[in-house]
Amino acid sequence: MMSYRGALIGCGFFAINQLHAWRDAEGVDIVALCDRDPERLAQAGDLFGIDKRYGDAERMLEAEKPDFVDIATTVASHRPLVELAARMGIPVICQKPFALSMADARAMVEACRVAGVPLMVHENFRWQSAIQAVKARLDAGAIGRPFWARVSFRSGFDVFSGQPYLAEGKRFIIEDLGIHILDIARFLFGEVTRLSARTQRVNPAIKGEDVATMLLDHEDGLSSVVDCSYATRLPVDPFPETLIEIDGSTGTLRLGAGYRLVVNGAGGREEVDLSPPLLPWASRPWHNIQESVLAIQRHWLHCLRNGEEPSTSGRDNIATMALVEAAYASAASHRTIEMASI
């Protein structure tokens, strides 16, 4: 099996998970790192024993000519870095949120299309094993035709200590976390025709919204509620679990706290514990997300090897980004947004 040589840009908080997962994945080596912060570059380089270290992405890509580049920086740098990779003909993975605007996202997808360069957005939540298991039940018809759903992420977990920039943006929960939960709704129930949203800010120490409630009409008639909160104090905080309720024509499915799946269908009742594995380098409660990082990175290697479009390609992610934009537009105007207008 051919072994791919990858390079990674942005050695911050989340990239450490990506570097661990690349080490676990088969047929790949991260041969070079780039960060404009020398301290973070040195820390990641030392931790993973990677000696080729750069402060400038273009210099790294020119010198190393990797088989792909993994962009793990925050959103402001995504467009220039993705377009750089496209110009140099290097397949590229880009962290979420993919872009600052729909126009940027479309330009990035177009640049990669024209250059013939594969592009995947690191939209990993749909790769959590519990979410994949829910999708498998739906595809198998376990509850008939789904007609109503709720996809919910409610927590009081302090995400600001690890990611201080989350407290500073005008936008917070929809752009940072809701984007994953909206992507799960698209993944499970298909494309959306219109969306309504309301937002609130409960935590006075941050600038953006930390509560969002969204109502989605899906193309096949299903209605879903997608709700997110980082202001919810529960006795047992479920961070970072996504809880799911689905009603179908012949049954119901519930993914409850503690990764408990209950399916009540024409075929009988199934109750199963979908707790994710604790990978050797993972730590609770993040292990659910960390597991999905390995899964999406393995998927990328599979797609590279087989010339397939990734599940969360740039093209696919434009539809998820459009839901984020529609949610902010609806919250600002108190109107329902037609997705065709985004």
| Nearby residues of 122 by Cβ (< 8 Å), 6 or more positions away | 18, 70, 72, 93, 94, 95, 96, 293, 296, 312
Total residues binding ligand 89Y (CB under 6 A): 6
**Residue 141, class by beta-carbon neighbours within 10 Å (0-12 exposed, 13-18 middle, 19+ buried)?**
middle
Residue 275 backbone phi and psi in degrees, to 5: -55, 135
Q: Cβ closer to ligand 89Y: 54 or 230?
A: 230
Taking the C-alpha atoms of residue 102 and residue 100, their distance in angstroms, rounded to an integer, is 7
Q: Cβ closer to ligand NAD: 284 or 334?
A: 284
For residue 208, the number of C-alpha atoms closer than 13 Å in the C-beta half-sphere is 22
- Near ligand 89Y by CB under 6 A, which window of 84-92, 176-184, 263-271, 314-322? 176-184
Question: Residue 146, SS3?
Answer: strand
How far from chain centre, in Å, is Cα 84?
22
The one among 176, 183, 316, 325 contacting ligand 89Y by CB under 6 A: 176
| Nearby residues of 68 by Cβ (< 8 Å), 6 or more positions away | 4, 6, 7, 90, 91, 92, 93, 118, 300, 304
What are 339's two structure tokens?
């997705």
The one among 21, 177, 294, 324 contacting ligand 89Y by CB under 6 A: 177
124: partner contacted, choices ligand NAD, ligand 89Y, none (Cβ within 5-8 A by kind): ligand NAD
**Which residues contact ligand NAD (rule: CB under 6 A)?**
9-15, 34-37, 40, 57, 72-75, 77, 95-96, 122, 124, 163, 176, 289
Site string for ligand 89Y, 141-160 (x = CB under 6 A): ------------------x-
Q: Tell the smallest beta-carbon distance from residue 293 to ligand NAD (Å).
A: 7
9: partner contacted, choices ligand NAD, ligand 89Y, none (Cβ within 5-8 A by kind): ligand NAD
- The reply on whether position 296 binds ligand 89Y by CB under 6 A is no
Taking the C-alpha atoms of residue 265 and residue 93, their distance in angstroms, rounded to an integer, is 39
222: partner contacted, choices ligand NAD, ligand 89Y, none (Cβ within 5-8 A by kind): none
Give the binding site for ligand 89Y (CB under 6 A): 159, 163, 176-177, 180, 240
